[in-house]
Homo-oligomer: A and B are copies of this chain.
Amino acid sequence: MTIDKQTIEQAHERIKPYIHRTPVLTSQSINEATGCHVFLKCENFQKVGAFKARGAMNAALSLLPEQRARGIATHSSGNHAQALARAAKILGVKSYIVMPRTAPEIKKRGVRDYGGEIFECEPTLQARESTLAEVILKTGATEIHPFNNYEVITGQATAAKELFADVKDLDVIMAPVGGGGLLSGTALAANYFSPNTKVIAGEPAGSDDAYRSLKSGKIEQAQSQTIADGLLTTLGDKTFPIIQELVSEIITVSDEQIIAAMKLVWERVKIIIEPSCAVPLAALIKEKDRFKGKRVGIILSGGNVDLVKVLTLMTSQK
């Protein structure tokens, strides 16, 4: 394994001054709905509202001084964009963020508020990659990929590391899977800090590429038929091998199940989570007969939502 225990411990020390140690919440209602003892690791309360603050900060802090001075860059329309702009601001360097021109204005403002420079492009992966390549050529900035980057994966691992320190004897730890940065980090943390804990992911059925990848043994392409818009990406060549080795199972869930789980958390735990974040809980509820009485940790990945969109989702269900 390229990332060892000490690497994660060092990353944790490195980023600690810049991130929240997020709380772990429990809820009688969630325990009743699942038949388990559930421990919610609240990364929705993390800086920038998502675990992405960890990986971006660790990657930025790991650069050589001469790299750092030339700035950092990425293409992202989501939480990683803000996390990277924030990391750059803290370090006093420039950040260059390539975003599709269709990205919501609130996301762009979030990046600008941290002093990030935005380069708009057409909303295709090809346009994003070619625009990023141009920006890097021009600026000499270093790319920090949202998930297919060992320092990012190591940073994301610190969320589960904290959960294992706070809650002993977890039978299962769950995370959502998109590109696999959080999931591979979570699996590494379990491997080193809680080896008896099984690692299980939740994935939207409408973009079940990780599920299919584990079956076929090679990286399958993502579809994009889900409201869990943080999980539309395909696994990377750095995340997939870790997931293949250390993740026990991926459970897929429908959008209806995702919305129901999200609503349950909003109404009963009184905290805001985004649709992608509700996926592991939806998976646990779907398969609850198999997990009866288990101690289950869930990484609540983020809480950045467009309220108008969520209203539409919640009212479209009975």
Partner of A272, one of B49, B270, B308: B270
Give this chain's copy count: 2
Residues of B within 8 A of A271 (CB): 270-272
Q: Is A314 an interface residue (CB 8 A)?
A: yes
Q: Is the interface of A mostly helix, strand, loop or mixed?
A: helix
Q: Give Cα A315 to B49, complex, Å.
A: 20
Q: Is A169 an interface residue (CB 8 A)?
A: no
State how many angstroms separate the Cβ of A118 from the closest Cβ of chain B: 21
**What count of chain A residues pass the 8 Å CB interface test?**
20
Q: Which residue of B lies closest to A312 (CB)?
A: B311
Q: Give Cα A308 to B259, complex, Å.
A: 13
CB proximity to B under 8 Å, residues A270-318: 270-273, 303, 307-308, 310-312, 314-315
Q: Is A45 an interface residue (CB 8 A)?
A: yes
Q: Give Cα A180 to B273, complex, Å.
A: 33
State how many angstroms separate the Cβ of A109 from the closest Cβ of chain B: 12
Q: Which residue of B lies closest to A274 (CB)?
A: B270
Q: Which residue of B lies closest to A308 (CB)?
A: B315
State how many angstroms separate the Cβ of A287 from the closest Cβ of chain B: 25
Interface string of A253-268 (1 = CB under 8 A from B): 0000000000100110
Partner of A311, one of B25, B45, B310: B310
Q: A307-B315, A308-B314, A311-B315 are in contact. List 19 more A-B contacts (CB 8 A).
A: A23-B23, A25-B45, A44-B270, A45-B270, A49-B270, A263-B307, A266-B272, A267-B272, A270-B271, A270-B272, A270-B273, A271-B271, A271-B272, A307-B311, A307-B314, A308-B311, A308-B315, A310-B311, A311-B314
11 contacts between A and B (CB under 8 A): A23-B23, A263-B307, A270-B271, A270-B303, A271-B271, A272-B272, A307-B314, A307-B315, A311-B312, A311-B314, A311-B315
